[in-house]
Chain A
């Protein structure tokens, strides 16, 4: 079937023999429209209301493949965390609902390290604590591996499902393994992670989190949302404190960043930068490492204005993504956004 999609349809509004039927089914019936309704009607929506608040997981072949990829990725990812001076603490089961499966502690990689599997079904949840102020709640249909005996950070790896984590402001950061990435939840943060179909949403409700991927750092200042896709790392996070329009613009930019269409990228980037407010400063900070050359320079210039960065050599170091300069600008971006 061929037709020219760009052809002008003409006004067509005068073609009203069946116009009223097409508009709101007022008789007389337009036989062509009625025939198309019958033909296309079988494609229409026939679904049931989904359960909200309960993580849905359909064991489709696609999901099984995704779960296999996740498991394979995690075997590679789980490495010995860096050593520190703080004494190790252990994950404790603070409370449960329903009948979750709590596995036995097994030896893990490093000396003194143990791991146990915790999983929930559709009607159960598990609340884990690590110290007084660190809490991780496993929602229904969730599986996590919790690792004890690590020196620096409490670790838990979410294999599937959804978790909510709250880290007390005086506590140590908590590391969550999510689709092969390390998500560091900073003290004083509240974060939800949902994994399904080979991707994860990390939603920081309050406080800050950092997603470590290869050598890059993606930082989130709550409320913010970041999507992680298996094997691709974190997408450009979006601040949920931004206006709806700013969020839509960021989403559009995110969709063109993965393409090699520089013209589309430049256009989307120009719009985002033109309309950026201090609330978007953390998003622009994350954008720095996702663009190059002139695009990065442009982002740097707009971000510098938003955070009122002083002139000096730091501005040049930002173009090289110098860690010290990036840290300083992140702090300034956080201050500006607040």
Chain B
């Protein structure tokens, strides 16, 4: 079983430096907010990428931050910023998916099947293939692998910013990677 994707009692806390940034951002410090964005945007983007299209993930990352910063004053524990932001990103992705399903139904009702998207080229196509393979893995593996491989975060950084323990991240990375290798090997064989 994958280690829990959500923060629990034994989870790693937001680092003291990040906690200070959260406090400063709460009091309206824009430079602190910019630094928080720098640190946490890859996490938000990565979580979105495991659930929705890449183009939407880019746009939605900013939306999640705008939402987060507008409501950051209501975050009771600055140490919980990472898990709080992650929950917001997951919720935002879920909303987007619900809207997309309704939109697709409307499109089908109006004009038959929706038009296929134009094919991505070369490297992007390859990246999308690997991403799709990751999307088929259990959620916890999915998120951790995308944060590590697409967003370039290390295991300790993932733990600090998502609220997961080092142990959970290590397990998710190792087991997820093992599954991914098998999936990709199967795909190569099939090709």
B interface footprint on A10-45 (CB within 8 Å = 1, 0 otherwise): 111101000100111100000011001101111111
Tell me whether A39 and B127 are in contact (CB under 8 A): yes
A152 on interface, CB distance cutoff 8 Å: no
Q: Answer yes or no: B138 CB below 8 A from chain A CBs.
A: yes
| Residues in chain A near residue B170, CB distance under 8 A | 13, 23
Indicate if the CB atoms of B151 and A50 lie closer than 8 Å.
no
- A50 interface neighbour in B54, B62, B177, Cβ under 8 Å: B62
Interface size class of B (residues with CB under 8 A): 35 or more
A95 in the interface, Cβ–Cβ < 8 Å? Answer: no
Query: Which chain B positions have C-beta within 8 A of A41?
Result: 149-150, 152
Partner of A12, one of B41, B42, B178: B178
Q: Are B174 and A13 in touch, CB under 8 angstroms?
A: yes
The reply to whether B70 and A52 contact each other, CB–CB distance below 8 Å, is yes
Q: Which residue of A lies closest to B76 (CB)?
A: A244
Enumerate chain A residues within 8 angstroms of B179, measured Cβ to Cβ.
Answer: 3, 5, 7, 9
Whether a CB of chain A sits under 8 angstroms from the CB of B130 is yes
- Whether A40 and B173, one on each chain, are in contact in the complex, defined by CB atoms closer than 8 angstroms, is no
Residues of B within 8 A of A258 (CB): 98
The answer on a CB contact under 8 Å between A251 and B91 is: yes
Say yes or no: B186 contacts A15, CB within 8 Å.
no
Docked Cα-Cα span, A6 to B138, in Å, equals 7
A33 touches B149 (CB 8 A): yes
Most buried by B among A1, A244, A255: A1
Nearest residue (CB) in B for A232 is: B102
Interface residues of B in 92-141 (CB under 8 A from A): 94-95, 98-99, 123-124, 126-133, 136-138, 141
Q: Is the CB of A10 within 8 A of B173?
A: no
Q: Which of A6, A19, A36, A52 sits near B149, CB closer than 8 Å?
A: A36
Q: How far is the CB of B8 from chain A (nearest CB, A)?
A: 12
Given contacts A40-B130, A244-B76, whether A3 and B186 have CB atoms under 8 Å apart is yes
What 0/1 pattern do residues 157 to 198 of A give for CB contact below 8 A with B? 000000000000000000000000000000000000000001
How many whole Å from A210's CB to the nearest CB in chain B? 22
Nearest CB on A from B32, distance (A): 11
* A22, B174: Cβ atoms closer than 8 Å: yes
Which chain B residue lies CB-closest to A225?
Answer: B71
Q: How far is the CA of A42 from the CA of B80 in the complex (A)?
A: 30
Shortest CB–CB separation between residue B27 and chain A, in angstroms? 13
Contact A43 B54 (CB under 8 A): yes
Chain A residues with CB under 8 A of B33? 49, 52
Inter-subunit contact B41/A45 (CB<8 Å): yes
Task: Indicate if B69 sits at the interface (CB-CB under 8 A).
Answer: yes
Residues of A within 8 A of B123 (CB): 39, 42
Distance A42 CA – B146 CA, assembled complex (angstroms): 12
Check if A40 sits within 8 Å of B176, measured CB to CB: no
* Docked complex Cα distance between A32 and B188 (Å): 14
Chain A's interface size range is 35 or more
Residues of B within 8 A of A25 (CB): 154
Using known A-B contacts A10-B178, A39-B123, A39-B127, determine if residue A50 contacts B183 with beta carbons closer than 8 Å. Answer: no
Complex interface: chain A residues within 8 A of B46 (CB): 44-45
Who on chain B is nearest to A194 by CB?
A: B70
Compute how far the CA of A171 lies from the CA of B84 in the bound complex, rounded to whole angstroms. Answer: 38
A179 CB, min distance to chain B CBs, angstroms:
14
Any A CB within 8 A of the CB of B162: no
A19 to B174, Cβ gap below 8 A?
yes
- Min Cβ gap B106→A in Å is 10
Q: Distance (Å) between the CB of A338 and the closest chain B CB?
A: 18
Chain B residues, Cβ within 8 Å of A23: 154-156, 170, 173
- Of the candidates A37, A60, A229, A244, the one whose C-beta lies within 8 Å of that of B152 is A37
Contact sample, A vs B, 6 pairs, CB 8 Å cutoff: A3-B133, A3-B183, A11-B175, A36-B180, A47-B58, A258-B98
Q: Knowing that A2-B190, A240-B74 touch, tell me 17 more A-B residue pairs with CB under 8 angstroms.
A: A1-B129, A10-B178, A11-B175, A12-B175, A22-B155, A23-B170, A32-B181, A39-B123, A40-B150, A43-B54, A44-B152, A47-B58, A49-B37, A52-B65, A240-B71, A244-B84, A255-B95
Residues of B within 8 A of A (CB): 30, 33-34, 37-38, 41-42, 44-46, 49, 54, 58-59, 61-62, 65-66, 69-71, 74-76, 80, 84, 87, 91, 94-95, 98-99, 123-124, 126-133, 136-138, 141, 146, 148-152, 154-156, 170-171, 173-184, 186-187, 190
**A interface with B by C-beta (< 8 Å):** 1-3, 5-7, 9-13, 15, 19, 22-25, 32-33, 36-37, 39-47, 49-50, 52, 56, 58, 60, 198, 223, 229, 240, 244, 248, 251, 255, 258
